[in-house]
Structure 1
Amino acid sequence: MKKLSQIIAYAGVIGVTLSCSTQKNTVVSRNFHALTTKFNVLFNGEQAFEKGLNDINNNYQDNFYKRLSIEPISFDDRKVAAPKFNNPGSNFNKNQDKKPETPFDRAEEKAVKAIQKHSMNINGYEKNSQIDDAYLLLGKSRYYTQRFIPALEAFNYIIANYPNASLIAETKIWRAKTNVRIENEGLAIESLKFLLENEENEAVLSDRIKEQAHTAMAMAYEKTDTIQKVIEHLTKGSQTFVNKEQSARNMFILGQIYSELDRKDSARMVFQKLASHKKAPNNYKVHASIELAKNAKKDSTDVLLISKFRKLIKNIDNRAYYDQLFYQLGNLYRDRGNTEKAIQYYEKSLETSKNNYQKTYSYEGLGNLYFNKQNYVLAGTYYDSVLNITSEEFENEKRIRRIKRKNKGLTSLRAYESLIKENDSILNLVSMSKEEQTSYFEEYIEKIKKEDEERRQQLLNSQNFGSQFGGGLSFNTNKNKGKWYFYNTQSKAFGEAEFERIWGNRALEDNWRNSDKASAKETEESIVNTEENQSRYKVETYLATIPTNAKEIEKLKEDRADALYKLGLIYKEQFTNYPEALKNLDRLLTLNKNKQLDLPIHYHLYQVYKNNDNEEKAEENKNYIITNYPNSQFAKIIKNPNDKLNENEEISEVQKKYKEFYYLYKAKKYEETVNQINNYNSSIVNSDLIAKFALLKALAIGKYKSKEEYKKSLEFVAFKFANREEGEKAEEIIKLLK
């Protein structure tokens, strides 16, 4: 009896198994394979696919300062693969032993398994209702792993073999997106047009499908630069908000496009609608408010925007956007002429920002404000900060290139200002008597002794504080009496402030006292040794550094004069700051001993006074030039400012020399070219052709000397003649060398 029951059980299992064969078109077989496909294989594949999508969304960073991409994903063109794949229904050629690298690979693996094990293709007809879903998952997984040709084959297979499937419209949209990725936008547009304009589809297509189709159409038209069509489909793709994330994105991009087209009213309308939309995700609402401020009219509406931004900042849910909100608030105050408030909010933006790209805007804002206040040294420091944190990805942005050009002038300005200050200081000491020099340095030594004494006392205090801190010193307060030190808020606050005052910001690590500088005891001993044995407290040390050689002193004066002249030109020509230009050129006039500079100084003074509406002084310099240099080019320009120079005028000596050296260069006599230019340099100091001579010399050096020397010569030209064509040419060559 027992044996009979076992035989019956085995027979039942075999019968069920045979009845579930993929080759038998039975109710049991169809339902078995459909359920197994949907709730086992495909379920796991779809879970892996969703994980992959979440990873993309979490890792993708939008740059809201640029126009967003319609699909929030960035593909690397170098990784696009197109392996041969002949029959999507049977020949997968998958290596089953290979472990999936990404969730999308895992999803593809599951889709393939579903097709291979559960497909019921009987007499050319698929009987498993879940296989079209498996092919769609297969195509989408390949799309996200940049295998667009195999993805296209999977989508085409569904469209050819399952024309009546419920997911056929979605498949056509995915096929169109894939065509866009392989630069077949025309085919994508035609297929989506047919899908959207077909009368039969009008009533059948759901809002979700219509949103997806219009979004894909916008992607395709964006590739063809048909901006009006992009606007049309983004508008339609953001009307129903079925997919909140994508619809909000479409609306935001629509506003950005209007802004780029300078249709500010339309941009404001779109951003206002998005900022107040209940279904829109918060990050799009916040950035829409920021864009509203960017596109705002410079009128009384600024007050409302400032109030709006203050409310956004009060909401702690917006902490992630504080840096951008503070920056934009700074812009609003800047536009209203409140510079102090603008500086305050730019600095707050820097304090709260972890994004270097955002920091470049805040630093630039501060640099521009100080530049407008004519504090060029501080402005240059902020521009330096912009360039220091700019990544390679953004180096060629027009904004960054503009800052680079501006900062070159400021870098030169800071260098010349520093040189003048230093040389003035040294020459001032040189002009003193021995007694005055001694007295000056005695006062200086007393000052540094006092500073060292204060520092030593501070270090002694820190040792005492450290022992008290370690021993659990408590500060008696009635409110907190008997509590542990770190539970006593008053004591803790005092301790933190005192610790930071003495030790600064220290990392939490072993030997923290010695991490950045010597221990208190070692530093104290160092100070004592310095006081007793080092020469910094001896007057003789400083007196020995004062130059006494007449040639050295004369060189200091020449360098100062050269710096004053160049500084005057920078203020006059690059920054149009006539008061500063006047200050430097006037001072140079009183100090100048170089006869070659006499004419250009008076000519630039003439121009500055004329631009500054000081006709009396302008006339004075004009008469000086005409009287003392009647045949000079400057005199001719002053006498006939509206006349062009005679083009047939005899070529100047300098031009002749340049041609001569250029022909030497063309004759491949590079070393001779360099030597000739070096010998002739003193004669072309004030010539307009000096930049051409410098570039020709650098090019000649590059022909027979090392790459390093060539680069140095080019860097000199690029730095000294930054605003000239020759300087730009040298900069281009340097980039090519890199």
Structure 2
Amino acid sequence: MRKTSNFLIFLFFLLLGCSSERNTFTNRLYHNVTARFNAYFLAKEKIEEAEASFRDAYQEDYTQVLPVYFPIDSASVDANEEKLNEARELAGKAIDWHRISRWVDDSYFLLGLIDYYEANTDDAINTYKYLNVNSKDKEVRHQALIQLLRIFVEQRKFDDASYVIDFLSKETDISKDNKQKLYKTLAYYYEVRHEQEGVIAALAKCIEVTTDKYEKSRLNFILAQLYQRAGFDARAYDYYNDASEGNPPYELAFFSQLYAQQVAELEKSKDLKKVRDYYDNLYKDRKNVDLRDVVLYEKALFELKQNETEVAITLLHQAALEPGKLEKQKGYIYQKLAEIFFDEKEDYRASKYYLDSALQHFKPTDSNYEILSSKKDVLDRYTANYELLTENDSLLRLSQMSPEEQEKIAENYIRTEEERLLAEAEEKSAQKNAGIFDNFLAFGGNASASSFYFDNPTVMQKGEIEFFRNWGNRALEDNWRRTSSSFGNTVSSLPSAKDTTSASPISQEDSIRGILPDKASLLANIPRDPEQISQLNDQMEEARLELGKVLFFDLKRSDMAREYLTDLLQFHPDSEKKSEAYYTLYLIEKETGGSTAYYVSKLNKEFPDSPFTKSVNNPVNETSSTAANKTAEANYKKAYTAFKANDYTTAKTLTQSTLNSYPLTEVTDKLLLLDIMLTGKLEPNERYQERLEDYIENTENTALVKMARNMLVALTGEKEEQQIVAADSTNISDSLRVNNAEKQLALDSLGAEKQVYKLNREQTHIFILVIDPEAITQTKNLSAELENFHEKNFQDSRLRTGNLSFTRNQSILLVSPFSNADKAMDYRRKFLTEFKYQGLPEELKKRSFVISIQNFQQLNKRKDIAEYEVFFKSSY
């Protein structure tokens, strides 16, 4: 009975202690212990697990100054959603179930931290402000203020951040752990404000109170990088050595030692052999297998300082071929190649393709992505026009040769391709190193000399070429030799163009790697009828003008721009672009201090009414260009209002005076069209028709040209043969309105201009999948999945997959080659029905299309995917 009574009494007091209402010593003790070692402890554990996951998901970029706080990717937060939800639930229990414990404020801090990670920033700020005002625990208050400071810095609210810094500077008894966080957040504050001295001072203080060895190594590395870039090599050397202590991750230790040697010896050493041997030894070290691309990259930078450009290029190419471990390193390698070819070799075409490769290894959120993307847009325009001009020029030269000369060139091209393929096979053989046990095997030895056919790439390539010479490009099928009408003919039974891969003898991008074109298909690409030749000439005319403009306005190469523009005037004397060419040449001469009088005279004599002529006669200051645009826009609106009110004289005066005073503004094309409409009201129809035709020929604004064509049709009653380009009529903001008949025509017409895209089903085709920015992350491994898809379904087609940053907001995935449209469409049907990839939704798959090589050149130039999609749906 006594034992039972004692147990009941103990149970009674225990139950009293569990109450969250009674504030007694027993209650507080129970709730403090239970909250700390149950709900709060578990919630904190979950958050730390999530933070470790955030850290693992981020890859440090040691070639750049490391950020004080590494950025947290939203995808990483989403991947840890379950952990954070569990932590939120546990922290909530610590507050609800243990309200009188001393861990309530700590639990509130965890809730604010979860809100911060989940981007519920306002809730996090409110939580930390609440803790600052209401918490009696200095430790928690300081933690909350430091986290609040970090949020304000991220939001660039520097006034609020300064207030928090000032408040914390007056606080006493800040713990060592909170001091470390405070100094680190101060360094972040100065980093965002680009105040390097502040960052260095804050990090130095932070290191003094940091106990975590990895964190200390990382902060030392950042300080070393800052000192190195500031030119204080001795200080940088000391911090790099400090960074390599404390058993940091291997990559951090590697870069610390590498950069320590650079600032101590390599940069100052005059013994070039010693420096090169140092990099060679690093490369040979087996511990650095995953970082060999870094070693080659650093050695290439060293060679560039010695003006050994060709050696540096070779090293960078080798670095690009190394597997590597750091994703961004490949981006820097290709970026450096792009810079070399841009700045030193002035090979803008090569620079463009290196930039394409570089951007594949950077994310849109990276600091250099926007700059590289803008530069690439310029180089894209240059390359598209350069390749078009080069290819068309070669095709026209071929068209002027005799059939015998054309055949000889085709044969030489095929022979060159054979040699290239064999050279590639030899290179692959040379890259195969003998295995460690090869000498012990019956057929051991280097693979390049192997007697076994399928172990020798060179022999396999030779066999493939010999097969192609005899039988052509045949698909795998049973009994094809017996069913072939040309069986027994070992002289080369050339397949038709429909069954073979069409390849241009000029453009390397159009050739099919690993598949030889036959002579017939090469010869078929040569233009023969006058219409084809005329079309090529028109394209060259446009390309020369665009190259001149890109080189002058964007690439600042006046000499090269002048050359293309004078070629335009020489080879296309009747060009519709002459006025713009004259004007651009006028600007070039003005820029370079040459004589502008010749081009001013030409413009006044040949194009007296052109806005370019008005511009050279009444130049507008660059400083007043914004004001000119605003004034012209205001005058246009007034003139249009007068036109609607049938006050044609006032409207005419306004348009004429504006065009004379501000000849080249953003509304010039609209002003010109309004002026032409006024001509229709005030002058004879012949003059009205003449001005409309001239406007259509010389204006590039597609929407306004469509409207002008509709007016011309309404005037003459004659419709041209129309080829539909777009299914929707164009809506123009504050568009010019015509009379009811003209307005109806503008709405009904689907476009009367010459068709941009031409249907040629027998030409080589490409399959294209458009990828929008929001889908880039989900489709990261798409190329690899497609390779598996090809291996399974198109093993004998030798399809290639590639990515291209098409515009600033879109990239495209290309699969090629398909010898004709039917094969490309067969591939697309199989892709839509059988290709499965989790990150690729069905609606994105359906946006795929196929396009001929010729049309792709137009698409790459116009950058209007929606326009081509309409053509694709109506033509395929």
TM-score of the alignment, normalized to the shorter chain, above 0.5: yes
Matched, 1:381 2:381: no
Q: Deviations over 1:97-119 (max 9, x none)?
A: xxx94323322322232333334
How far has the Cα of 1:401 moved from its partner?
0.8
Find the partner of 2:673 among 659, 665, 690.
665
The 5 Å alignment of 1:491-502 reads 494=450, 498=455
Query: Which residue of structure 2 aligns with residue 408 of structure 1?
Result: 381
How far has the Cα of 1:181 moved from its partner?
5.6
What is the CA–CA distance in structure 2 between the aligned matches of 1:161 and 1:592, rounded to whole Å? 81
Q: Deviations over 1:234-292 (max 9, x none)?
A: 44324444344555555566677789xxx7325x5665444222447444555567888
Give the counterpart letter for 1:335 in structure 2.
K
- For the 8 Å contact 1:221–1:229, the answer to whether it is kept is yes
How far has the Cα of 1:389 moved from its partner?
6.6
Query: Which residue of structure 1 aligns with residue 305 of structure 2?
Result: 335
Query: Which residue of structure 1 aligns with residue 186 of structure 2?
Result: 217
- For the 8 Å contact 2:545–2:568, the answer to whether it is kept is no
How far has the Cα of 1:38 moved from its partner?
3.0
Matched, 1:265 2:231: yes
How far has the Cα of 1:561 moved from its partner?
8.1
Q: Deviations over 1:657-684 (max 9, x none)?
A: 99997545236959999975773379x9
How far has the Cα of 1:393 moved from its partner?
4.5
- For the 8 Å contact 1:568–1:585, the answer to whether it is kept is no
How many residue pairs align between the two structures?
Answer: 616
Query: Which residue of structure 2 aligns with residue 34 of structure 1?
Result: 32
Deviates more, 1:350-359 or 1:415-424: 350-359
SS at match of 2:97: helix
Deviates more, 1:8-17 or 1:330-339: 8-17
SS at match of 2:119: coil
How far has the Cα of 1:557 moved from its partner?
7.2
Query: Which residue of structure 2 aligns with residue 51 of structure 1?
Result: 49
Deviates more, 1:568-577 or 1:352-361: 568-577
Deviates more, 1:698-707 or 1:139-148: 698-707
The runs of 5 or more residues in structure 2 that have no matched partner are 422-436, 462-472, 498-516, 606-614, 620-655, 681-686, 710-729, 733-745, 758-805, 808-860, 870-876
Query: Which residue of structure 2 aligns with residue 276 of structure 1?
Result: 241
Query: Which residue of structure 2 aligns with residue 97 of structure 1?
Result: none
Query: Which residue of structure 1 aligns with residue 70 of structure 2?
Result: 72
Q: Deviations over 1:630-678 (max 9, x none)?
A: 964799xxxxxxxx98759xx9xx9899999754523695999997577
Q: Deviations over 1:572-601 (max 9, x none)?
A: 995759699879979997x88869999999
Matched, 1:170 2:143: yes
The 5 Å alignment of 1:457-476 reads none
What is the CA–CA distance in structure 2 between the aligned matches of 1:225 and 1:370, rounded to whole Å? 31
- For the 8 Å contact 2:359–2:369, the answer to whether it is kept is no
Find the partner of 2:316 among 331, 341, 346.
346
Q: Deviations over 1:700-735 (max 9, x none)?
A: 6854479997999999xx99xxxxxxxxxxx99989
Matched, 1:369 2:326: no
Give the counterpart letter for 1:680 in structure 2.
D
- 1:234–1:633 CA distance, 2 compared to 1 (3 A): same
How far has the Cα of 1:51 moved from its partner?
0.9
SS at match of 1:74: coil
- For the 8 Å contact 1:67–1:257, the answer to whether it is kept is yes
Give the counterpart letter for 1:11 in structure 2.
L
How far has the Cα of 1:500 moved from its partner?
5.0
Matched, 1:14 2:14: no
- For the 8 Å contact 2:695–2:705, the answer to whether it is kept is no
Query: Which residue of structure 2 aligns with residue 687 of structure 1?
Result: none
Query: Which residue of structure 2 aligns with residue 115 of structure 1?
Result: 95
* Identical-pair percentage: 17
What is the CA–CA distance in structure 1 between the aligned matches of 2:132 and 2:547, rounded to whole Å? 73
Give the counterpart letter for 2:240 in structure 1.
A
How far has the Cα of 1:186 moved from its partner?
4.1
SS at match of 1:102: helix
How far has the Cα of 1:54 moved from its partner?
1.0
SS at match of 2:136: coil
- Structure of greater relative contact order (alpha carbons < 8 Å, 6+ residues apart): 2
Matched, 1:106 2:86: yes
Give the counterpart letter for 1:51 in structure 2.
E
The 5 Å alignment of 1:398-547 reads 398-429=371-402, 437-438=403-404, 441=407, 479-481=440-442, 494=450, 498=455, 518-519=475-476, 531-532=492-493, 534=495
- For the 8 Å contact 1:661–1:677, the answer to whether it is kept is no
How far has the Cα of 1:424 moved from its partner?
0.7
Give the counterpart letter for 1:331 in structure 2.
L
Q: Deviations over 1:58-77 (max 9, x none)?
A: 12345567765533243779
What is the CA–CA distance in structure 2 between the aligned matches of 1:161 and 1:538, rounded to whole Å? 83
Matched, 1:145 2:121: no
Give the counterpart letter for 1:361 in structure 2.
Y
- For the 8 Å contact 1:64–1:287, the answer to whether it is kept is yes
Q: Deviations over 1:15-61 (max 9, x none)?
A: 45245344566665544443333333333223212211111111234
- 1:681–1:360 CA distance, 2 compared to 1 (3 A): farther
SS at match of 1:397: helix
Aligned-residue Cα RMSD (Å) equals: 6.5
What is the CA–CA distance in structure 2 between the aligned matches of 1:418 and 1:583, rounded to whole Å? 16
- For the 8 Å contact 1:438–1:539, the answer to whether it is kept is no
- For the 8 Å contact 1:568–1:581, the answer to whether it is kept is yes
- For the 8 Å contact 2:349–2:383, the answer to whether it is kept is yes
- 1:224–1:519 CA distance, 2 compared to 1 (3 A): same
How far has the Cα of 1:167 moved from its partner?
5.2
- 1:136–1:548 CA distance, 2 compared to 1 (3 A): closer
What is the CA–CA distance in structure 1 between the aligned matches of 2:582 and 2:862, rounded to whole Å? 35
What is the CA–CA distance in structure 1 between the aligned matches of 2:74 and 2:496, rounded to whole Å? 62
The 5 Å alignment of 1:208-357 reads 208-220=177-189, 229-247=198-216, 250=219, 264-266=230-232, 268=233, 271-277=236-242, 278-279=244-245, 281-282=248-249, 283-284=251-252, 300=268, 313-314=283-284, 316=286, 318-351=288-321, 352-353=323-324, 357=328
- For the 8 Å contact 2:224–2:239, the answer to whether it is kept is no
Give the counterpart letter for 1:381 in structure 2.
Y
- 1:580–1:300 CA distance, 2 compared to 1 (3 A): farther
- For the 8 Å contact 1:46–1:137, the answer to whether it is kept is yes
Query: Which residue of structure 2 aligns with residue 84 of structure 1?
Result: none
TM-score relative to the length of structure 2: 0.53
How far has the Cα of 1:427 moved from its partner?
0.9
SS at match of 1:146: coil
The 5 Å alignment of 1:549-564 reads none
The 5 Å alignment of 1:652-691 reads 662-663=670-671, 665-666=673-674, 669=677, 679-680=693-694
More helix per residue: 1 or 2? 1
How far has the Cα of 1:343 moved from its partner?
1.5
How far has the Cα of 1:420 moved from its partner?
1.0
